[in-house]
Structure 1
Amino acid sequence: MMFPIILSSIIAMAIIVERFWSLQRKKILPPDLLPQVRKLYMENKLDDTTLRKLKVSSPLGYILAAGLFNSLHDRKVIKDCMEEAGRKVAHDLERYLNALGTIAAVGPLLGLLGTVFGMIEIFSSLMKNGAGDPASLAGGISIALITTAAGLTVAIPSLIFHRYFERLVDEYVIGMEDEALKLIDILHGDREAS
């Protein structure tokens, strides 16, 4: 059972590194994006090309562009369009987190299964050869327990990072919602840029 545990470890590490790279705050919520969009809106420089560039610039840009494409409609339509874009962005931000959570849940079970297989093998050997050497029996049990330790070694960091990334995504989603509401207020003149 060590092969699936090692494979899970490699996959978990790859997901963790990729999520750290992809979920950088400056990539998700560029701090100066809303003021730039406001300035372009006030100067009437938001053409289709600019909006397409905004859409691919960042997840926040994707949401703001959804609202700006529909800026001629009323507040509710703009908000609905931005909420739809926000759901897609939130889904994209949670990419691979399910797999990481699954590895965190399955790691200890793989380790336990490996230990059970090892114990079955030890007791089968005892039935065939007898319990002649206690040191050999203890050595066999310790080898069987290695898979449990390996499973836990993979699962614990996976669980910690899974929870961390879930919380980070939630924080980003709330930040994007706040920025989207500010844009709606700017489009309807209810709020000056803050």
Structure 2
Amino acid sequence: MENIFAAGGWLMFPLALCSVAVIAISVERFWTLNPNKIAPRNQLGDVWTQIQNNNMSSEQLKELRKSSPLGRVLAAGLTNSRHGREVMKDSIQEAASQVIHELERYLAILGTIAAVTPLLGLLGTVLGMIKVFAAIMLEGTGNAGVLAGGISQALLTTAAGLGVAIPAMISHRFFLRRLDALVITMEQDAVKLVDVLHNDRRVDLKQA
């Protein structure tokens, strides 16, 4: 393994760092973007039960805000529910924007790695071929060892770049899709709460 790493040249070091970053970010995002932690299924029903029982005090709102990202969005709406539908919607949208920004953390880095690592591999290919042609100019085609070193550098960096980029791209797309699903869930629950509090429609929030 060390020989392969050395044969790939100095570009193998940033590629190795990128691979470690992909693994670390993927594990962290998989743990963080857990649907049960972001938007608990029964949270909206529990909130509605507390509202009907007149148990939604300021302390309950603080606990709701800390319980989950969905709870944070719902708490923002409930805090401003007495000021009318539009004010409530605006406060929900503002809180949701902050929550989404936090949930998107590190995904841009993952996408950047997926885009950059193939280019690093291509750069290694170019440098390897330059090494090959320089050896041909100096020594001709008789020194197979020098030629093989340049070719191996070209192939190894290309393979390493693709080997990092492919998992990074898959991971990036996976977490973006999961984030989209979570955002839709939070939006639907927030809209249901707004509509029920302002009597725009009948919704059984306990079954939502």
Same fold (TM over 0.5): yes
Instruction: Give the TM interval when normalised to the shorter protein.
Output: over 0.9
Look up the match of 2:173.
163
1:99 to 2:109 alignment: yes
Unaligned runs of 5+ in 2: 1-10
CA distance in 2, matches of 1:118, 1:137: 9
CA distance in 1, matches of 2:22, 2:91: 35
Give per-residue Cα distances to partners, 1:160-192, cap 9 Å, x unaligned.
111111111111111100000111122223324
| Equivalent pair of 1:70/1:77 in contact (CA under 8 Å) | yes
Give per-residue Cα distances to partners, 1:11-40, cap 9 Å, x unaligned.
111111111000111001101101110011
| Equivalent pair of 1:182/1:191 in contact (CA under 8 Å) | no
State the aligned residue count. 194
Give me the CA root mean square deviation. Answer: 1.4
1:191 to 2:202 alignment: yes
Look up the match of 1:132.
142
Look up the match of 2:119.
109
Matched to 2:95, the amino acid is A
Q: How does 1:6-85 map to 2 (within 5 A)?
A: 6-85=16-95
Same amino acid, percent of matched pairs: 54
| Equivalent pair of 2:22/2:168 in contact (CA under 8 Å) | yes
Look up the match of 1:89.
99
CA distance in 1, matches of 2:127, 2:202: 66
Structure 1 stretches of at least 4 aligned residues deviating more than 3 Å after TM superposition: 133-136
1:142 to partner: Cα distance: 2.6
| Equivalent pair of 2:124/2:153 in contact (CA under 8 Å) | no
1:181 to 2:185 alignment: no
Unaligned runs of 5+ in 1: none
CA distance in 2, matches of 1:52, 1:67: 13
| Equivalent pair of 1:104/1:158 in contact (CA under 8 Å) | yes
CA distance in 2, matches of 1:2, 1:21: 29
Give per-residue Cα distances to partners, 1:123-153, cap 9 Å, x unaligned.
2222222210446524531332100100000
CA distance in 2, matches of 1:115, 1:69: 59
Q: Greater CA deviation, 126-135 or 158-167?
A: 126-135
CA distance in 2, matches of 1:86, 1:118: 49
| Equivalent pair of 1:104/1:154 in contact (CA under 8 Å) | yes
